[in-house]
Amino acid sequence: MNQAAIKLSKTERRLLNDFQRDLPLDPRPFNHIAEQLGVTESEVIEMLRRLKAGGLVTRVGPVFTANRVGVSTLAAAAVEPSEIVEIAGMINRYPEVNHNYEREHKFNLWFVVTASTSVQLRHVIEDIELKTGLEVLVLPMLRDYYIDLGFPIEWIDQVEH
């Protein structure tokens, strides 16, 4: 689905804006969100599926403080610009990978790898190296910084429904 073609309802806009953080620690968190939005749990789940399919949502879930639950590392690779989309796609297939992004640098593809153990983390990195043919630069965290990735969304166009 093309992002530009998606028409967002007022409820979808509220879902995107109002629930960027503090996902309820509950067996049915989407039910809690649905109550606040005045819709059903299944409607919330369907909206999230649609928003994800349209590329407007990449992930719904908790963000844990680094290395408090399992292990993680920042990683980077030097990728030929003509191969960046293909290599990023290969790396994105790993469920242990998130925050995959391109930077203007010799090491132009950066990503975070998380795993339950350091052995599993190393295995994922080695597998990425094997499948991409690239050396992965591992940049373990030396100092912890917290960056809140939530931000208010200001809608420019008019809500249609």
SS3 labels along 3-27: HHHCCCCHHHHHHHHHCCCCCCCCC
Residues 114-124, mean pLDDT to the nearest whole number: 95
Question: Rounded to whole angstroms, what are the CA distances from 128 to 59, 63, 79, 111, 148?
Answer: 21, 23, 13, 12, 28
pLDDT at residue 71 tops 80: yes
Tokens 């373990």 appear where?
140
Residues 124/96, Cβ–Cβ less than 8 Å: yes
Residues 142-153, mean pLDDT to the nearest whole number: 71
Quickly state the pLDDT bin for 157 (edges 50, 70, 90).
Answer: low
Quote the mean pLDDT of the chain. 86
Residues 108/79, Cβ–Cβ less than 8 Å: yes
**Who wins on pLDDT, 9 or 99?**
9
pLDDT at residue 3 tops 80: no
pLDDT the model gives residue 152: 73
CATH class of the region 71-139: alpha beta
- The three-state DSSP-derived secondary structure of 31-80 is HHHHHHHCCCHHHHHHHHHHHHHCCCCCCCCCCCCCCCCCEEEEEEECCC
42-58 residue pLDDT tens: 999 999 999 988 888 87
Q: What percent of the chain has pLDDT over 90?
A: 59
Q: What percent of the chain has pLDDT over 70?
A: 84
pLDDT at residue 138 tops 70: yes
Helix (H, G, I), strand (E, B) or coil at 134: coil
pLDDT at residue 64 tops 60: yes
**Who wins on pLDDT, 45 or 7?**
45
Quickly state the pLDDT bin for 148 (edges 50, 70, 90).
Answer: low
